[in-house]
Structure 1
Amino acid sequence: MKRILVPVDGSDSAMHALRHAIARARESQAEIHVLHVEPPPHYQEVRLYAMREDIARIHQEACQRLLQDAKDELQREKMPHAAHFAEGEVAHTIARFAESQQIDEIVMGTRGMTAFGQMLLGSVASRVVHFVAIPVTLVK
């Protein structure tokens, strides 16, 4: 069965990419994997207000809520799917996940970064395209 990866970040762009992936998956009877990647939390930024374990738990819960919208959409559409969460540098983590899960295609949104911002920082999408050897479809 073909596997399509859709990285999600809670943005409208990511949800639009998910809907596009659902349409593609129906055509090819593919399974959709949604992945949310978070950079590791910066514990040093939170002073004495919470314990490190509490911060990690709150962070994990927030990420799971973010994934829930994508899972709800996939369940409504009765699509075979799996949801995943990972921590790490976003573009590298998406690429490593795609390789480890034998993903056939990535469908991802663009966040609308300005051309100047992309020139300075690069976008996650453009870096993913650079890191993987499988097709990547970018959805506006």
Structure 2
Amino acid sequence: MQNVLVPFDGSSSAKRAIQYLVDFSAEYPAIKVHVINVQSEPKLYGNYVSASMLEQLHDGALQHGQDINTDAAAMLEAANINFETHAVIGEVIGEVVKAVKQLGCNTVVMGTRGMSNLGNLVMGSVATRIVHEVPVPVLLIK
């Protein structure tokens, strides 16, 4: 675990994953952590949305993702861990897989439960899908 990706949604489970890395770094200080928050595409209703309004919606979603990442950043910074935060728009599984490849991550560390309990019942667990989709080991933190 040298270059780690942490999907982060601000949930207590996601914060435990960050805390695990903080504790882990005490023994292995040379890790690099990438914290990623994935926001859904804005849902548009109606017949017409201007390009500027669509851009504002995207910018707002990205800002919201960065705001969520501030909790993780504060924990990692306090532990003096090398990290970067990323906020993207898209589908969670696909964006996590893409980030693993683009950032050269060799491990994904994530919580088992996120903010969307209803989504877990309807579509299956995001954590389970990530385990099956990413090409690197995944460490799930309860």
User: Which category of TM-score, normalised to the shorter sequence, fits these structures?
Assistant: 0.7 to 0.9
Tell me how large the CA RMSD over aligned residues is: 2.4
Report the alpha carbon displacement of residue 12 of structure 1 after superposing the two structures with TM. Answer: 0.7
- CA 92–54 in structure 1, closer or farther in 2 if over 3 Å, else same: closer
Q: TM-score, normalised by structure 1?
A: 0.84
Q: How does 1:37-76 map to 2 (within 5 A)?
A: 37-44=38-45, 51-76=53-78
Structure 2 alignment gaps of length 5 or more: none
SS in 2 for 1:44: coil
Q: Map Cα deviations across residues 80-119 of structure 1 (whole Å, 9 max, x no partner).
A: 11111111110121011111111011110011759x82xx
Consecutive aligned runs of 4 or more in structure 1 exceeding 3 Å deviation: 51-54
Unaligned ranges ≥5, structure 1? none
| Aligned counterpart, 1:20 | 20
Please give the secondary structure, in 2, of the residue aligned with 1:73: helix
Query: What letter matches 2:113 in structure 1?
Result: R
Question: TM-score, with normalisation over the residues of structure 2?
Answer: 0.83
- Give the number of aligned pairs: 135
Identity percentage over the alignment? 32
Whether the aligned pair in 1 keeps the contact of 2:66 and 2:85 (CA below 8 Å) is no
What is the distance in 2 between the residues matched to 1:27 and 1:7?
A: 23
- Asked whether the 8 Å contact 2:6–2:35 carries over to 1, the reply is yes
Q: Please state whether the residue corresponding to 1:137 is helix, strand or coil.
A: strand
Distance, in Å, in 1 between the alignment partners of 2:66 and 2:87 is 8
Question: Is 2:14 the partner of 1:7?
Answer: no
Whichever residue aligns with residue 36 of structure 1, its letter is: N
